[in-house]
Amino acid sequence: MSKYTLLLVFSLFPIQLFSNTYDCSKIKSEEDQIDALIQAVSEIKGTFIRNGEEHNAVDAAKHLRTKLENAKKSPLSWGQKWTAAQFIDQLGTKSSVSGIPYEIKWNDGKKTPSGPWLHGELKKIKTLCFSS
């Protein structure tokens, strides 16, 4: 095996090791990618901080799903096809009311802004499910 093949194998190994929650057979469209991201939120090991208050992962996912459904019903987005990146940037990063960024507080106490984390998860989905 060449050193480039080994580099490729080892660079993909962490993604495969930590991304076993994505079932690529069910992720075919942008909407499927959004669903996968919301599912990933429901499985975080910690809490989701919204407007300064902590919410469990399942409630956070429900909130994001409701926010998406409300956005789809808005006259400003009638007929719009949401991409996963738009979902993250417009709905998954901050409160629409207060503008306060969302954070994830992991079980070890560390905090991560939701936007970069969601974009990282989207990158994993695209790498696992859409790379040839």
Q: What is the pLDDT of residues 53-110, one digit of tens each?
A: 999 999 999 999 999 999 998 888 767 889 999 999 999 999 999 999 999 999 999 9
Q: Give the start-end residues of each E strand in the chain.
A: 46-50, 53-56, 103-106, 111-113
What tokens were used for 37? 């991201």
pTM greater than 0.85: no
Distance CA 11, CA 41 (A): 25
Distance CA 57, CA 80 (A): 28
Distance CA 31, CA 17 (A): 25
